[in-house]
Amino acid sequence: MPSPFPGMDPWLEDRRVFPNFHDRFLLILTEELNASLPKGYVATINSRIYVDEDPHREPDISVLGKLPKNIPGTSLALEAYARTGLMTIPGEPIADPSKELFVEVVTSDKKRLLTAVEMLSRANKRAGVKQRTAYRKKQGQMLDAEVNFVEIDCLRTGRATTLFPDHLRPPRTEYDYHASIVTFENRCFYSFLPIPLRAMLPSLPIPLDKDMEPLFIPMQPIFERCYKGGRYEELVDYDEPCRPLLTPEHEAWANELLRTRNAG
């Protein structure tokens, strides 16, 4: 079943869901880029690794489900493991580093990075954590290296973090999400792509070499593939309030969309 929303689904911003959505979206975006890039250019996935000291970090989500009301004391899984001869011992959870994916467009010989594409995480927008500090450092490195830099912000809350100058942004009431694009020609140019919650996701411009037109990658089909492939209609509980909370106007609009879907 498709998302009940015309564009970004605000229920996917939930801290338990967004990391999964973040990575899945970027993986599909990489596929779409490689289907459109001219010969000599390739989109690849890269990652940053953090040793996370923040006790409130988002979980790494591989398989999630709606939590049952009553969790039984017996484990059919452990019984099945025993039947196959697997050795199973009790233990404590193992702390692991957190990882953030991002996309890079490089020349085929991997000698030159043209464009980096980021989707901001919750940690990138939260003050006082290593991820935000490291992300800010990367922004400076991209500017210093004159690499095109595309940032997608699909989170309504958190500190303004993308590179587009704060004082030049449209009024916050005119958009809920946005993309910031830095293009290097003879000097850098900043572009801002506002994305209202009630609108379909627009095409995302991906700048390439100076003598080339940018690619315009439609984000709405990517979102739809992401939503279906991630089975978010089962992962998300639309009967629960949206987290982060919607404005009263958006809440009334969202409730009407959900009522219409349930009635159908």
Tokens 């100076």 map to which residue? Answer: 210
Residue 245 lies in a domain: yes
Is residue 79, in this structure, part of any structural domain at all? no
Per-residue pLDDT for 98 more than 80?
A: no
Is the pLDDT higher at 189 or at 89? 189
For residue 120, what are the domain limits? 10-63+95-263
Domain assignment of residue 210, yes or no: yes
Task: Please check the confidence at residue 75 and state whether its pLDDT lies above 50.
Answer: yes
Task: Classify residue 71: in a domain, yes or no.
Answer: no
CA-based torsion, 230, 236, 242, 246: positive or negative: positive
- Band of residue 61 on the pLDDT scale cut at 50, 70, 90: very low
Residue recorded with tokens 């973040």: 22
* Residue 50 confidence (pLDDT): 66
Q: Which residue has the tokens 């890079």?
A: 104
Domain count, the chain: 1
Distance CA 123, CA 259 (A): 33
pLDDT at 68: 46
Tokens of 189: 């140019």
What is the pLDDT, as a whole number, of residue 84?
A: 81
pLDDT confidence of residue 89: 61
Whether residue 82 is contained in a domain is answered as no
Q: Is the CB of residue 201 less than 8 Å from the CB of residue 223?
A: yes
- Tell me the pTM: 0.84
pLDDT tens per residue, range 120-156? 999 999 877 788 888 999 999 999 999 999 999 999 9
Angle of CA points 87, 70, 73, to nearest 5° = 30
Question: Between 9 and 78, where is the model more confident?
Answer: 9
Q: What is the mean pLDDT of the chain?
A: 87
Q: What number is the average pLDDT over the span 256-260?
A: 95
Task: Give pLDDT tens digits for 146-196.
Answer: 999 999 999 999 999 999 999 999 999 999 999 999 999 878 999 999 999
Any domain includes 70:
no
- 74 lies in a domain? no
Using the predicted structure, report yes or no on whether residue 93 has a pLDDT greater than 90. no
